[in-house]
Structure 1
Amino acid sequence: MSAAWLLPLAWAIDTSFKSETDAASPDASWLPAGGFTLDAYRTVLDQGNLPVWTLNSLIVATAVTLLTVAVSALAAYGFSRTVFRGRRVLLAITVASIMVPPQILIVPLFRQMLAMNLIDTYAAIILPQTVAPMMVFILKKFFDGIPRELEDAARIDGAGHPRVFWYIVLPLSRPILAAVAIFVFISSWNNFLWPFVSTNDPALMTLPVGLPTVKDSYGVQYAQSMAAAVLAALPLLVVFLFFQRRIVRSVATTGLGGQ
């Protein structure tokens, strides 16, 4: 199964080292007739767009991750540790919204961004992605499992909700926060539909939006497209290599692997 999963990735890497003639040839072959070449990578890098797309993806994914974790953690703490009027109704709406396909919200979100004059800005790309009901629910369930005796001891010393949240709940929730941050970052990095809809400025394109533009008057250039895709995947690969233990530990200890 692992070999079958890796086959398309291996084919993409193999295609990226072919000439455009060999890549477009109807006779599929791992070994190109003209030999391997770096022309596709040179062309993609010479265009000058890939660094801009990478920087935009990094800015958007980082901002979305920080805001989503902050908003989701605060909302989850409110549902888990406070009692207020309408709490059950709001929690039910939050859970129910998990079942709403994101594509349904494209038109109203676009109209909202348009009314706020945010189209073609980083804010238009980032803000709609920070609402993550699934992450609120996951964090809420984790916060429910934190012993309340720890909070009671802090309240005896005069701590309120802000101090309890910052000094007790968050330190004990590092594994789940790391897991949520990892999943949100990857999801935002790979998101195509909303960044594609919310901006028309080439200077604001993210990698998933910019990669389909790798073509010329002769149509799609397969070797260049695969080279750009490989380069786009490198940042996530580097992140995984550096934080492999943290990623595996977070997924294993929080149960997010089955989500």
Structure 2
Amino acid sequence: MTTRTLISPARLSRPRGRILYWTVLFLVVAVFTLVFIGPLYWMVTSGLKDTEEFARIPPTLVPDAVHPGNYGEAWQVMELSQLLFNTLYYAFGALAFQLVLDVAAAYSLSKLRPVLGKAILGAMLVTLMIPATVLVVPQYLTVLDLPVFERNLLNTPWVIWLPSVTNAFNIFLLKRFFDSIPRELLDAAAIDGASPMRTLRSVVLPISRPILGVVSIFAVVGVWKDFLWPMLALPDPGKQTLNVGIYSLASGVPENWLLAALAMASLPTLILFLIFQRNIMSGLTAGGLKG
């Protein structure tokens, strides 16, 4: 059966059809490229302008004179090295906790099938319907005086790491992938005498690299882009994340330096996506194994 498309093969074979097809395709690609790349280009080039050119009306599309020193000045004045270190520390700590605890939760719900497992999963998914801002106040009161331990977690890495573990979306992604793993593989491991933990380590995790890569990227980017919670939970300027630190210092630096700092803050996540974009796509679409 012939696959149905927006333009029939007969019309596409005609010169007028080909011209129309390529024209529409070029316009769509150009518009989407402008929408997504335009703000990034404007941020990078604005950081290369001097103060006078940055404030010029109408603004210049291409800088008259390039001032790369703005990036160096912004790096030093705004102490981006310390802010970058803090953010990386929080992000990869959250990643480690999520890989250990979320994988264990997803594996238990998928393969060990505990009592009331479906109810637990349903309760997790219900939390996705709750706006994040609604949880800010109870979450803040919780870390202000942690139950049982009676500890104040403000200005500690735990205030970032512990809330990041309760990520229902990542648990759902991992469970969905684990569900697609044939039961025969686990039964064969059990016949060989492997315990559930050994099966997870030696059988499940090696074939789960695509989805583990996706969850890892989501964990790092989630901490990297978060603003409201770190601003409340990390009031100490020496322990703030990149976004909060730039916001705190924004009023004391020229705006072209500010945009240069924002461009440098965006660069790591862009590089991360460009390097692992195939892993992201394959992990999101992974849903079964071919025998």
Name the TM-score, length of structure 1 as normaliser: 0.89
Aligned pairs for 1:170-181 within 5 A = 170-181=205-216
Aligned pairs for 1:42-61 within 5 A = 42-47=72-77, 49-61=79-91
Alpha-carbon distance in 1 for matches of 2:104, 2:62 = 54
Alpha-carbon distance in 2 for matches of 1:105, 1:216 = 29
Alpha-carbon distance in 2 for matches of 1:172, 1:32 = 49
| Cα displacement (A) at 1:248 | 4.6
Tell me which of 46, 66, 71 is aligned to 2:96. 66
Decide whether aligned partners of structure 1 residues 204 and 239 sit closer, same or farther in structure 2, where only a CA change above 3 A counts: same
Cα deviation per residue 1:114-154 (whole Å; 9 max; x = unaligned)?
Answer: 10211011111222122110111111111111011111111
Q: Structure 1: which amino acid aligns with 2:75?
A: L
| Cα displacement (A) at 1:244 | 4.7
1:157 aligns with 2:182: no
Structure 1: unaligned runs, 5 residues or longer: none
Residue 56 of structure 2 is matched in structure 1 by: 25
Tell me which of 152, 155, 162 is aligned to 1:127. 162
| Cα displacement (A) at 1:247 | 4.0
Alpha-carbon distance in 1 for matches of 2:173, 2:212 = 10
Alpha-carbon distance in 2 for matches of 1:81, 1:212 = 45
Residue 222 of structure 1 is matched in structure 2 by: 255
Alpha-carbon distance in 2 for matches of 1:214, 1:48 = 7
Residue 3 of structure 2 is matched in structure 1 by: none
Alpha-carbon distance in 2 for matches of 1:188, 1:211 = 15
Higher relative contact order, chain-length normalized (CA < 8 Å, sep 6+): 1
Question: How many residues end up aligned between the 2 structures?
Answer: 252
Cα deviation per residue 1:146-193 (whole Å; 9 max; x = unaligned)?
Answer: 011111111112222111111111112111111111122112211111
Decide whether aligned partners of structure 1 residues 138 and 247 sit closer, same or farther in structure 2, where only a CA change above 3 A counts: closer
Cα deviation per residue 1:75-126 (whole Å; 9 max; x = unaligned)?
Answer: 1111111233222221110111111112111111111111021101111122
Alpha-carbon distance in 2 for matches of 1:79, 1:179 = 19
1:188 aligns with 2:220: no
1:118 aligns with 2:153: yes
Residue 272 of structure 2 is matched in structure 1 by: 239
Structure 2: unaligned runs, 5 residues or longer: 1-31, 146-150
Tell me which of 104, 107, 110 is aligned to 2:137. 107
Alpha-carbon distance in 2 for matches of 1:240, 1:153 = 37
Alpha-carbon distance in 2 for matches of 1:161, 1:253 = 23
Percent identity over the alignment is 33
SS at match of 2:59: coil
Is the 8 Å Cα contact of residues 210 and 280 (structure 2) preserved in structure 1? no
Aligned pairs for 1:76-87 within 5 A = 76-87=106-117
Q: Structure 1: which amino acid aligns with 2:256?
A: A
SS at match of 1:158: coil
Is the 8 Å Cα contact of residues 16 and 225 (structure 1) preserved in structure 2? yes
1:11 aligns with 2:42: yes
Q: Structure 2: which amino acid aligns with 1:24?
A: A
Tell me which of 173, 177, 181 is aligned to 1:142. 177
